[in-house]
Chain A
Amino acid sequence: MGIMGLALTWETRIPPVAQRERRVEPFREQVGAQAPAVDASHPEDFELAAACRSGDLRAYERLYSLHGARMKNLARNILGSSADAEDAVQETFLKVQRGIASFRGQSSFVTWSFRILVNTCYDARRSRLRKKEVASEDNQPETVPRPEPRASVAHPSLRLALERALAKLTRHQRDVFLLYEVEGFRHAEISGMLEITEAASKNTLFQAKKNLRQMLEPPRARDAAGAR
């Protein structure tokens, strides 16, 4: 499908945003209410890491109750399937447990956990791709992922268009967009998760949004812009 198929008219398709939800960049705190911020200096982050290191399973449960939903949502947006996302979250927790002894606290514990999650998701994507390659080499019919039910959203067509447009971005642009705009992380946190600088995170988000805008822009507006 080309860009035309993704076109949305901004006026009609994008829902009006309630004042309390309005995100006026860079005032991040306006959207921070639904997602707990990650702060390395926060005592809970330190205590959580210490408790996980001591092998206390309740600490992992706390990590899950605080960030499990966001982890699963991020994984689903990267992998495109709820089942794969759950597998990735489970694998992430196992990796955190295996690697907690080597965690030295250079970044926050939660940032570190999300870095593991992102890497796990891309490992899963690669492995899925390899399996598909093997299947096509064996002349087996390619398995097409079935669209799965998700929690109802106000604008399913908008979500679908955005998902398709996101799939066309580079990996870094997609990751930064999802972490910043969807999960509500700050650039400082994203830089820790993706091991890039804060400036690179800001620039990548800018490029991602520019590309998304181009992809989702209505053709009429593009033509008019081209005529000018």
Chain B
Amino acid sequence: MNISCNDRDRIFENGTPDEWAELESHAATCAPCAEELRAWKSLSAAASQLRDYSDSPALWPRIQRSLAEQAERGTHRWNLRRLLPHFSISWQTAAASAFALLLLLSGAWLLGPPRKDPAQSPLLRNQALTDVRRAESAYVQAIDKLAAEAKPQLENPGTALTASYREKLLLLDSAIDDLRAQTGQNPSNAHLRYQLLAMYQEKRRTLEEILEEKR
């Protein structure tokens, strides 16, 4: 390989190790290239003057505190996010379909014929709420029965799969508790009720899978 002064810039920009070695050899007999090469390397050496890796003892505790605060604020959202990967594709499809149906019904209700102001018929709303609570209570009792059957297996998980089911149930229970607290504050929020229902259904399905594994 023959290196000339014309190759210098190209090598500075994108030279291979061999080309750099050739340039060094060439510079030994070429004063302008030797000067350019020295100046080029000097810039890299000068860059070290901009390195200051001195310790900042107060910085990490400050970052740690703000990370903990942010994590605390986002706990509820984080729980749900962590839960989602456990949902199967069919479950996600079903949830999406239910949500689409809910949107469709809401649209029909909004665009439909005029009706009485709901504020004038609070009994109807209260009645619907009572029905939902009754159905929810019955559903919870049924799930509790399943949980009682699965309890011995969960307390002594024989397999990694059962241990994983137990962790999933803990997460589900945590999400259910959060949602119940929210529905307690806002009992007429249908969206929260649907979310809660989704959590209960997932818990029921998980318990059924545990019991099936036993058989």
Measuring CB to CB, which residues of chain A are less than 8 angstroms from any residue of chain B? 10, 14-15, 17, 21-27, 34, 55, 57, 60-61, 64, 68-70, 72-73, 76-77, 82, 86, 89-90, 93-94, 97-98, 101, 150-151, 153-155, 158-159, 162-163, 166, 177-178, 181-182, 199, 202-203, 205-206, 209, 212-213, 216-217
The CB with the most chain A CB atoms within 10 A, among B43, B46, B51, is that of B46
Closest to A198 in B: B14
Contact of A181 among B17, B20, B43, B67 (CB under 8 A): B43
- Whether B115 sits at the interface, judged by CB under 8 Å, is no
In the complex, what residues of A have CB within 8 A of residue B51's CB? 34, 73, 182
9-residue interface stretch from B53-61, B137-145, B162-170, B191-199: B53-61
- Whether B42 sits at the interface, judged by CB under 8 Å, is yes
Report B66-102 CB contacts with A as 1/0, cut-off 8 Å. 1110110010001001000000000000000000000
In the complex, what residues of B have CB within 8 A of residue A182's CB? 47-48, 50-51
In the complex, what residues of A have CB within 8 A of residue B45's CB? 14-15, 17, 21-23
Q: How far is it, in angstroms, between the C-alpha of A92 and the C-alpha of B41 when the chains are bound?
A: 33
Contacts A23-B41, A24-B41, A94-B70; A64 near B52 (Cβ below 8 A): no
In the complex, what residues of B have CB within 8 A of residue A68's CB? 59-60
In the complex, what residues of A have CB within 8 A of residue B41's CB? 17, 22-25
Contact (Cβ within 8 A) A73 B53: yes
In the complex, what residues of A have CB within 8 A of residue B78's CB? 55
Q: Please, could you name 15 A-B residue pairs with CB atoms under 8 Å apart, sorted by A?
A: A14-B42, A21-B48, A55-B71, A61-B60, A64-B63, A69-B54, A72-B59, A90-B63, A93-B66, A97-B70, A153-B49, A182-B50, A205-B13, A212-B43, A217-B39
Q: How far is it, in angstroms, between the C-alpha of A72 and the C-alpha of B56 when the chains are bound?
A: 9
Count of chain B residues with a beta carbon within 8 Å of a chain A beta carbon: 41
Contact (Cβ within 8 A) B68 A57: yes
- Beyond the given pairs A93-B63, A93-B67, 6 more chain A to chain B contacts, judged by CB atoms under 8 angstroms and listed by A's residue number, are A25-B20, A57-B68, A90-B63, A94-B70, A151-B52, A212-B43
Contact of B15 among A25, A90, A216 (CB under 8 A): A25
In the complex, what residues of B have CB within 8 A of residue A154's CB? 49
Report B5-46 CB contacts with A as 1/0, cut-off 8 Å. 000010011111100100010000000000000111111111
Contacts A55-B71, A57-B68, A97-B67; A202 near B59 (Cβ below 8 A): no
In the complex, what residues of B have CB within 8 A of residue A21's CB? 45, 48
- Whether B62 sits at the interface, judged by CB under 8 Å, is yes
In the complex, what residues of A have CB within 8 A of residue B14's CB? 199, 202-203, 206
Closest to B59 in A: A86
Contact of A153 among B39, B43, B52, B64 (CB under 8 A): B52
Q: How far is it, in angstroms, between the C-alpha of A68 and the C-alpha of B67 when the chains are bound?
A: 15
Contact (Cβ within 8 A) A94 B46: no
CB distance from B3 to the nearest CB of A (A): 15
Contact (Cβ within 8 A) B67 A213: no
Closest to B78 in A: A55
In the complex, what residues of A have CB within 8 A of residue B44's CB? 23, 25, 181
Q: How far is it, in angstroms, between the C-alpha of A183 and the C-alpha of B44 when the chains are bound?
A: 11
Q: How far is it, in angstroms, between the C-alpha of A22 and the C-alpha of B55 when the chains are bound?
A: 25
CB distance from A211 to the nearest CB of B (A): 11
The CB with the most chain A CB atoms within 10 A, among B50, B53, B55, B66, is that of B50
Contact of A162 among B39, B46, B54 (CB under 8 A): B46
In the complex, what residues of B have CB within 8 A of residue A158's CB? 46, 49
- Top-6 shortest CB links A-B: A181-B47, A206-B13, A159-B49, A69-B53, A151-B54, A14-B42
Q: How far is it, in angstroms, between the C-alpha of A199 and the C-alpha of B42 when the chains are bound?
A: 23
